[in-house]
């Protein structure tokens, strides 16, 4: 009900209140079209202009068009730093995903099973990074670990980078996994597994994890998107991330625009994959994978990443 997929909405179009849609169809006022148009122009013009700009190797305009050139794209793709920094960021992202999953899955499992009184504390902790802006967090880290192993070498800075990514991702990783846990009966699954002779490792890896896989994957994709786009922390720690590469090519003329087009397509790709990931198990099992609880508030900052596309009702 609450998980609708924007790209394929026909199925979900059935109105809750009979006649609502048909009544409104008749009233689709010109004002609505104008409102939509203004917003779309505001967002569409920069995107279109960027695509056009990235294709021009010379100054061009409608009055004096020059031929389309892909040289800006070729330049960035042939730059070895582009690939190196991209893979560096993907690597940090994957490591962040592994650490978040290892921290959160056992935590949420145990809290649900044995320590429900801790839930609100943990929820608060995972939302705390929203209140601490990234710029504050990174200088806090540098102050806290000043003149230690963590700040004196590349390995230490890498640890700081990964650790802070895990933390800033908590508001977006905790919720999908927690919601997936709430959809299953942890106690019954655990007891059933135990009575069949499973140990704790088997229970978590072979019984619990497959059941919350949708939530884990959801969290993983958000984390990867964060790791690829994050700039503030990686800039302060001077790590060779994707966004720092982007920052360094800002002095060029057409390359940033080409890069922006690539970034936009990548964002689109991630969100499309995210939709697929959160959607497919539901079709397979005929039971929705929970991305956002229906009655829960649309988490602001969560909205930014997933619920935006997945939650409609």
Partner 1 sequence: MADNTSVTHDIQMTLPAVAVVSESSSRPRRSRPVWLSWDWLAVLPFFAFILAFLLLPTFSVFRGALLDDKNQLTAEYMLNLLGPQYSGPYISTIEISVVTAVAGGVMGFLMAWAITIGGLPNWIRSATLSFCGVASNFAGLPLAFALAATLGRNSLLVDDLNNIGIKLYPSFSVYSVIGVCLAYTFFQIPFMVLIMTPALDGLRQEWREAASNLGASQSQYWRFVALPILSPSLLSAFALLFANSFGAFATAAILIGAGPGSLYIISIAVQRQFSSDISTNPHQGYALAVGMVIVVLVTILIYSVARGRAERWRPRGT
Shortest Cβ distance from residue 154 to partner 1 (Å)? Answer: 18
Say whether residue 68 binds partner 1 (CB under 8 A): no
Distance (Å, whole) CA 104 – CA 189? 18
| Contact criterion met (CB below 8 Å) for 111 and 119 | yes
122-151 positions binding partner 1, by CB under 8 A: 122, 125, 128-137, 139-144
Reported as half-sphere exposure (CB side, CA atoms, 13 A), residue 58 has a value of: 7
Nearer to partner 1, 213 or 252 (CB): 252
Say whether residue 33 binds partner 1 (CB under 8 A): yes
Q: Looking at 85-93, 177-185, 239-247, 280-288, which segment touches partner 1 (CB under 8 A)?
A: 239-247
Say whether residue 238 binds partner 1 (CB under 8 A): no
Say whether residue 260 binds partner 1 (CB under 8 A): yes
The residues, any chain, with a CB within 8 Å of residue 294's CB and separated by 6 or more, are 1, 2, 313
Q: Which of 68, 74, 87, 115 binds partner 1 (CB under 8 A)?
A: 115
Structure tokens at 36: 């939509």
Helices (H) and strands (E) in the chain, counts: 17, 0
Say whether residue 158 binds partner 1 (CB under 8 A): no
Q: Looking at 78-86, 175-183, 206-214, 235-243, which segment touches partner 1 (CB under 8 A)?
A: 235-243
Nearest to 180 by CA among 277, 85, 115, 273: 277
Say whether residue 57 binds partner 1 (CB under 8 A): no
Nearer to partner 1, 167 or 277 (CB): 167
**CA dist 229 → 95, 225, 255 (Å):** 15, 6, 17
Shortest Cβ distance from residue 263 to partner 1 (Å)? Answer: 4
| Total binding residues toward partner 1, as defined by CB under 8 A | 121
Say whether residue 59 binds partner 1 (CB under 8 A): yes
Distance (Å, whole) CA 229 – CA 304? 13
Which residue is associated with the tokens 């800039």?
235
């Amino acid at each position: 009900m609450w998980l609708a997929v924007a790209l394929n909405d026909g199925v979900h179009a059935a109105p809750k209140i009979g006649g609502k849609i048909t009544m409104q169809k008749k009233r689709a006022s010109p004002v609505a079209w104008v409102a939509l148009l203004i917003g779309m122009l505001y967002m569409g013009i920069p995107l279109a202009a960027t695509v056009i700009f990235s294709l021009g190797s010379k100054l061009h305009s409608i009055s004096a068009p020059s031929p389309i050139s892909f040289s800006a794209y070729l330049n960035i793709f042939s730059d070895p730093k582009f690939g190196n920094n991209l893979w560096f960021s993907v690597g940090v992202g994957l490591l962040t995903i592994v650490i978040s999953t290892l921290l959160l899955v056992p935590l949420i499992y145990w809290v649900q099973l044995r320590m429900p009184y801790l839930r609100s504390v943990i929820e608060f902790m995972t939302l705390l990074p929203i209140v601490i802006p990234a710029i504050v967090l990174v200088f806090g880290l540098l102050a806290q670990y000043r003149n230690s192993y963590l700040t004196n070498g590349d390995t230490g800075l890498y640890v700081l980078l990964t650790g802070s990514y895990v933390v800033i991702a908590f508001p977006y990783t905790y919720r999908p996994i927690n919601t997936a846990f709430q959809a299953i009966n942890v106690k019954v699954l655990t007891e059933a597994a135990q009575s069949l002779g499973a140990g704790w490792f088997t229970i978590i890896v072979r019984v619990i994890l497959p059941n919350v896989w949708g939530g884990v994957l959801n969290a993983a994709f958000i984390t990867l998107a964060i790791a690829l786009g994050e700039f503030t922390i990686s800039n302060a720690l001077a790590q060779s991330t994707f966004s720092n590469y982007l920052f360094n090519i800002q002095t060029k003329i057409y390359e940033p625009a080409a890069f922006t087009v690539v970034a936009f397509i990548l964002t689109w790709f991630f969100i499309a994959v995210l939709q697929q990931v959160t959607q497919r198990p539901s079709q397979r099992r005929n039971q929705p994978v929970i991305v956002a609880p229906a009655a829960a508030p649309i988490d602001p900052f969560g909205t930014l990443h997933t619920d935006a596309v997945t939650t409609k009702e």
